[in-house]
Amino acid sequence: MPEGHSVHRLAKQFTSVFVGERLAVSSPQGRFAAGAEQLDGATLLSALAHGKQLFLRFDNDRVLRVHLGLYGAWSFGGDATFRGASSIGAPRRIGESEQPSGNGDAPGGYPGPPEPVGAVRVRLVSAHGWADLRGPTACEVITPAEEAAARARLGPDPLQPRSDGGIFARRVMSSISPVGIQLMNQAVIAGIGNVYRAEVLFLQGISPWRPGRQLTEDEAAGIWADTVRLMKDGVREGRIITTTAQARGGRPKASAPHYVYKRTGEPCRRCGTAVLTAEMAARNVYWCPKCQAD
């Protein structure tokens, strides 16, 4: 599932290439035809990411709310002025790419958006580019008041300016639920998925099974600080890399970006103990039993 850093990258891309543009909105798949009709011809005013949800605000008091879920992704293209990533979201054939997606240098100039490929739920088209959405868990047109209500149900987002880590600390420390479950609860902290959960807890030396009430204030603050740092790296790099050059004796390689995530049975990069995995609330959780002892 795309985690919060990918959604913030989407918000940045929509802001840079679509905000201020009058958009033609359609639903090639047909499942979003009524919603597309409400947005067609409106101008995009802003794009906001809150955790794993994207809010595209239009000048007709309508908001497109998108939650990518496990399989959702946006793909992009455009003329020579369009220099964004070609795909952001769940990996597809090309996955998330930093390659410029503009094709204005093609013979005859920019031909406009290509024919839709696959089940395109929503297509947004401006004078210089296009964006296609496939496979989201949620895709709906809502009002600004409904956006405010949806965001009020979410916890603080580590990537938003002025987001309050103290709110996260109070929430996680007030519950007897294991911290590994709470980090996946979007009402506690918005944007963390399975990768960030595993890696942040490893970096902090905290077992995912420890009850939240047993965390100290310093530990809760450390979880928040590492999450902010790693997710900012994810926005910048376009992928999650948590290993460090210092810890591994050299520059991290793309083939080994993580300490414990999906490394079941492999030696811990710090102590050599075999990494464990188990099911926690219907998702696999990964940890080192020595570095993250209860």
Which positions are catalytic?
2-3, 52, 283
List the beta bridge partners of residue 122.
133
The CA distance from 228 to 222, in Å, is 10
Q: 243-258 burial, b if ≥16 CB within 10 A, otherwise e?
A: beeeeeeeeeeeeebb
Report the greatest alpha carbon distance in the chain: 65
The CA distance from 281 to 206, in Å, is 18
The CA distance from 49 to 53, in Å, is 6
Pairing of strands 63-67, 24-26: unpaired
State the alpha helices, DSSP H only, in the chain: 4-17, 33-39, 144-152, 165-173, 179-182, 194-204, 217-237, 245-248
Pairing of strands 276-280, 63-67: unpaired
- Nearest CA among 6, 1, 75 for reference residue 233: 6
Tell me if 84 sits within 8 A of 103, measured CB to CB: no
- Residue 108, by phi and psi: left (phi above 0), alpha (psi -120 to 50) or beta? left
